[in-house]
Structure 1
């Protein structure tokens, strides 16, 4: 994210790890992410998308500009600073507002905001409180469980609606687990739990009730149950202890 000299009457906050290193502490109606993603590798690109999704107000809009004149990814010498700089092409699954030979501009809004009450997109949207979205990547998103078993109980869900986790592509699975890691870090900071259970219900025999696969991130706290030893083994009575 970057900022230019503010126009009169417009309040602008900038963030850049080098030039504006103070991370914003509030959310925003509008966010501009200008040519940032092209100089980052895939994992850091995903982290920026996540950060933008967290900093954007529900119903707000973020705009990503990406270069379209990069023909080959890799390191090259920066024209001005004469240092090795990574550059790559970037394609986002968001609404494209403008594109020419040098730039494309995307508009982003929260996935839960765009799909409110659209059960055909996901059965979760029939009863989801949309403002409970807590993070998003290009192919998955996360929100607080409507019926939490603990404080901070969160679901990570792929955007593609499939009922079986093993029907997801490896890329989709990897994105979900990367988002799990990001959500876990936020939960640790916000609630400081003493442990976690991470789980997926697959099929009727596995306890699945919603035909859109999702990963549970359940924060655990010392004393929340009398005998926590065995964790997820407790899903089958009599098999928890060993």
Structure 2
């Protein structure tokens, strides 16, 4: 098997790209100069943590998290999150997971800054010159606001989807209320709790692009929604401890769709929430529930 056909499970050495430095990284200097480091700050994927150390010495309130070097996961939300060059060494599934994790760690009105490299020529797995292990690198384009770019890097500013000013629309999923709790968010989709839940923890997974028919979503959009569904399920289970789940999508008026913007229902089920749960989603046609 060639280097570039290696799988997600084999991207085990991304941490080897971390560099030991004696001064602030260029991205850290830049976001500091731009006045973007506000309130409680998290350096997500901080590597050896030199930026954390030096920024703390300069009076900033900064914590660091790194899956390999500082594995204690943060237990609070932050006003500002910085993520420098992390996405460039991750496969697409891993990138999406990082975006969702950061969305959950960011306060409702907070901002995150993703810095990605713009000087990569070769993409894919290659053998690290020093460590002699296969490490991955790729160019990354994000659908967020770009606030700085040079020949070497680009800085994106991320805010929760429901905090952004959008075009006028009557669609509640194109313009979710700024007071709505977002569960998770990625580049392509976001998730919220249903406004009229049928059970505690009833969640919706929603693609950001306005389209009514699930089957007309691109493969990338469908994949993003299903990947988020898996992660939201974990979050719902952690919070509510249900005994089971129903997953459903209403497509078209005669299937009961009332909002013409795709949304996937994740409905937690609990022991005793109905007298007889046999048939599950077959109950959309009551006479056919049992078979």
Q: TM-score range by the shorter chain?
A: over 0.9
Whether contact under 8 Å (1:115, 1:125) holds in the other structure is: no
Give runs of aligned pairs for residues 35-184 of structure 1, distance below 5 A.
35-115=85-165, 120=169, 122-124=171-173, 128=177, 130-184=179-233
> 2: distance between equivalents of 1:167 and 1:222?
36
Aligned length: 241
1:72-96 CA distances to partner (integer Å, 9 max, x unpaired)? 3112233444432110110000000
- Which of 71, 74, 78 does residue 28 from structure 1 map onto? 78
Q: Residue 239 of structure 1: CA displacement?
A: 1.0
Residue 32 and residue 124 in structure 1: after superposition, are their counterparts in 2 closer, same or farther (change >3 A)? same
SS of the residue 2:154 aligns to: strand
> 1: distance between equivalents of 2:175 and 2:150?
39
SS of the residue 1:185 aligns to: helix
Whether contact under 8 Å (1:49, 1:136) holds in the other structure is: yes
Q: 2:252 maps to which residue?
A: 203
Q: Residue 125 of structure 1: CA displacement?
A: 5.6
> 2: distance between equivalents of 1:229 and 1:158?
31
- Which of 236, 245, 269 does residue 220 from structure 1 map onto? 269
SS of the residue 2:109 aligns to: strand
Question: Which stretches of structure 1, 4 residues or longer, exceed 6 Å deviation after superposition?
Answer: none
**TM-score normalised to the size of structure 2?**
0.79
> 1: distance between equivalents of 2:261 and 2:145?
24
Residue 189 and residue 222 in structure 1: after superposition, are their counterparts in 2 closer, same or farther (change >3 A)? same
Residue 87 and residue 59 in structure 1: after superposition, are their counterparts in 2 closer, same or farther (change >3 A)? same
- Which of 51, 58, 79 does residue 8 from structure 1 map onto? 58
> 2: distance between equivalents of 1:32 and 1:238?
54
> 2: distance between equivalents of 1:121 and 1:207?
19
> 2: distance between equivalents of 1:184 and 1:29?
26
Whether contact under 8 Å (1:153, 1:217) holds in the other structure is: yes
SS of the residue 2:197 aligns to: coil
> 2: distance between equivalents of 1:234 and 1:144?
23
Q: What value does the CA root-mean-square deviation take over the aligned residues?
A: 1.7
> 1: distance between equivalents of 2:176 and 2:136?
43
Q: Residue 192 of structure 1: CA displacement?
A: 1.0
> 1: distance between equivalents of 2:98 and 2:176?
29
Q: Residue 17 of structure 1: CA displacement?
A: 0.9
